[in-house]
Amino acid sequence: MPRVVYITSRGHSGSTLLSLLLSGHSRVVSAGELKMLVQPDPQRRLCSCHRLVADACPFWRQVQERVIGAVGVPLAQLALTDQGDASTFARHNGALFAAIAAVSGCDVIVDSSKSLPRLLRLQEACQSGTGSGFELLPIHLHRGPFGSMNSARKRGEELRRAAFNYSRMFFLTREGLRRQRSLRVYYERLAAEPRAEMARVMAWLGLPLEEAQFQWREGVRRDIHGNAMRFGSSAEIRVDQSWRHQLSWRQKLGVFAWTLPVRLRSQWLFQRTRRLIEPGLRPFA
């Protein structure tokens, strides 16, 4: 039975880095953001191994043939996000994971789709008792508020709105994983001390840490979509601390205040201060 390491996080939180470090292991294959297989835009479905859309890549073409044989539809028609009923979703994803495991020869698959709704549906499929055909191992990848908010700002998001979404998603994810065996990984620790943090991750997975995992620019990677770093040439890993000089002191103060509930891990505080944070609300009405 394939074991599926599912990375859930906000965008630009290091999921591509984590998936690349995981996939250097001899028993692990990273499939990237599998939810993108159903995207109509081909530029969002490019693989890392050949820079081709899935149905044109030799690896993914073999996966597709097995999926069609199992459930009768190609990759682009799979129920991977909100499509299909619970039974169809479980059957399609089980067939996809089984095909990836068979073609890659690896029994651990990394799905870095990030999407919390997809994670919750996969969780439901595993817990339904209908035989999903895979074991789910969620990793909650978390990036500190200053780096995450600066990244959102550079993408054109308003800081207060980004801070509200950041806090809301943190607590939704924590609640969604409350009854599921899972691991939280911090981007800053991963980038600052990759060996120590990967040793912790691999111990949780019950696998030995391998030196090849740190030669992550070598070998073939199968990821669908993801950060452009997967096509780069540098193997240097460093913490992105650009927020220190790119955010003004007023912006830093705002981020600190708006994300304080997350820093304190207090959902109670978030519920009682959300009117001061949530965009569009009049906090003193």
Query: pLDDT (tens digit, 9 = 90+) per residue, 212-231?
Result: 999 877 777 788 876 655 55
89-108 pLDDT per residue, tens: 999 999 999 999 999 999 99
More confident residue, 43 or 241: 241
Q: How far apart are CA 260 and CA 199, in angstroms?
A: 30
- Give me the pLDDT at residue 283, please: 37
Residue 258 inside a domain? The answer is no
Average pLDDT on 232-241 reads 77
- For residue 110, the domain's CATH number is 3.40.50
Residue 52 inside a domain? The answer is yes
190-205 pLDDT per residue, tens: 999 999 999 999 999 9
| Mean predicted lDDT score pLDDT of the chain | 90
Residue 152 inside a domain? The answer is no
Domain that holds residue 31: 3-144+180-235
- Give me the pLDDT at residue 275, please: 79
Residue 28 inside a domain? The answer is yes
- Give me the pLDDT at residue 154, please: 94
143-169 pLDDT per residue, tens: 999 999 999 999 999 999 999 999 999
Burial class of residue 41 in the structure, from the number of CB atoms within 10 Å of its CB (0-12 exposed, 13-18 middle, 19+ buried): exposed
**Contact in structure between 219 and 35 (CB atoms under 8 Å):** no
Considering the chain, what percentage of its residues have pLDDT values greater than 90?
73
176-189 pLDDT per residue, tens: 999 999 999 999 99
Q: How far apart are CA 273 and CA 276, in angstroms?
A: 5
Say how many domains are in the chain: 1
- Give me the pLDDT at residue 82, please: 85
Residue 103 inside a domain? The answer is yes
26-79 pLDDT per residue, tens: 999 999 999 999 988 777 778 887 777 777 889 999 999 999 999 999 999 999
Q: How far apart are CA 5 and CA 132, in angstroms?
A: 15
Residue 37 inside a domain? The answer is yes
More confident residue, 114 or 275: 114
Residue 70 inside a domain? The answer is yes
Residue 265 inside a domain? The answer is no
- Give me the pLDDT at residue 282, please: 43
Split at pLDDT 50, 70, 90, the class of 251 is: very high
Q: How far apart are CA 259 and CA 147, in angstroms?
A: 12
Contacts for 185 with CB less than 8 Å, ≥ 6 apart = 18, 139, 140, 141, 142, 197, 201
Among 11-15, 64-68, 136-140, the minimum mean pLDDT is found in 11-15
- Give me the pLDDT at residue 53, please: 76
Average pLDDT on 16-28 reads 93
Contacts for 139 with CB less than 8 Å, ≥ 6 apart = 5, 6, 7, 8, 18, 182, 183, 184, 185, 201
Q: Which residues partner with 205 through β-bridges?
A: none
